[in-house]
Structure 1
Amino acid sequence: MKKLFLLFLSVFIISCSSSKLPFGIRKTIYQLDNELNDTTKYDFKIAPEQVATFKYDWSFGLHTPNGHNIKGQKRLLKLYFKLNGVSSPYHMSEIIRTTYHRHLNNQPLKFREQTKYFKKYEKLLKKNMDTAFAWDERNKPIEKYREEEKDYFKLYANGRLVIGTTSAWKRYSKSSSASTDVEYTGRVINLKERSLYVEIIQVEKPKDGFKLNQKVGDTIQESPYSVVLIPSERK
């Protein structure tokens, strides 16, 4: 049985080495394409790469705080990453998000380069965290990120439609209550520095017994990172 597993593992590694993407990554991209709605994919696609991967760090469910699982994957994909020197689930997730962003934008995926980058980064982290952070900063300067972010924020022009979430609450007793998220559609009124002011123009009906905290016509303060841009043609 052990020999059979080693043979299967060898075939898996060779097949991954000879193709552009490991099967598990291709499967994950296929799942994301099918599971994400068009609006989310649009917003993720048009955002610059670093901004997109940061904004959607947790939204795709690629890893969880408790189990650190990769969405839709079993042991082999994790094993592939680990055999290539990437052991952090957060770095695995970033590689997947970056690859998916490049896939949507028809850009070179450079999957091997990504894997090599995080392999070196994790080696540096084990030796000295300050050295590792400085190396990462040199390769991904915050100034470049801020420039990309500025370009992305320009898309939030007055009148642009976005999707966000507000809350609704229900009181059970004087000491007991519950809350839930409710999706709304809003129109951008103004973007001041990093604060986005949005007028709610439509809001979903909350569950029975729950009362909305905001209603149609209210102005809500958001961040470009907490709402999703609706394609312009849907205005």
Structure 2
Amino acid sequence: MATLPIVKVQRLYRQISDLLIQKFKSREFEPGTALPAERDLAQQLGVSRSSVREALIALEIAGWVDIKTGHGVFVCDRSPQSAASNQPGSASVEELLKARELIGGETASLAAENASEEQLVRLATIMDAMNGLSEKKVPFLTLDEQFHQLIAEMANNFVFAEFVSTLWNNQRYDQLFVSFENHYGNDESEVWNVDHRAICAAITAKDPLRAKAAMREHIRHVHASFFAGEAL
């Protein structure tokens, strides 16, 4: 397979997914066959494994491949009509997380300055619920969103609250992000709960700098979960 020519104006994962789609259409990879391992694809294309991983997840969402954890990535049999109607989304997970890191950090800082006692009680209640449900993925992710939305409310800044709401709506409805969420394990929710406790403690202590640092560290942990080096 030839090294992928890099087009600067297009996101790398889209270039990779587009190249693989061409190969699916030309039957270089037949339906039902397994793709090369993530590591091998990255070497063949001259790109990072994280970029290959993001492309494969996008292709799974578009119905081109089926990712079977522990077994490999298999090419799906699909019609040209269905392929045209469901191309990989344009929003990059990495872009969403970078925005969350920057905006979320400032929001947590403002929350530490402005949170009311009633809001702090609500935050503690959500934190307690997350501790009790960390082994159940769907409830945990719902509570995770409530946790971050409440912190945005605490910031007492309408513009920041709208930014955070927009980011979460993007994550909820962007199929690429949802597919990443579906590959999470319990280890990630446990790590994130440690982060949440640190954020909660800093906000409760009215410590803006610590709250900002804790939030940014949390988003970096989320990023690491998405782009860990293990093959799918």
TM-score norm. by structure 2 comes to 0.27
Which of structures 1 and 2 has the larger relative contact order (alpha carbons within 8 angstroms, sep 6+)?
2
Q: Which protein is bigger by CA-based radius of gyration?
A: 1
More helix by share: 2
TM-score, with normalisation over the residues of structure 1? 0.26
Between Structure 1 and Structure 2, the one with more strand by share is 1
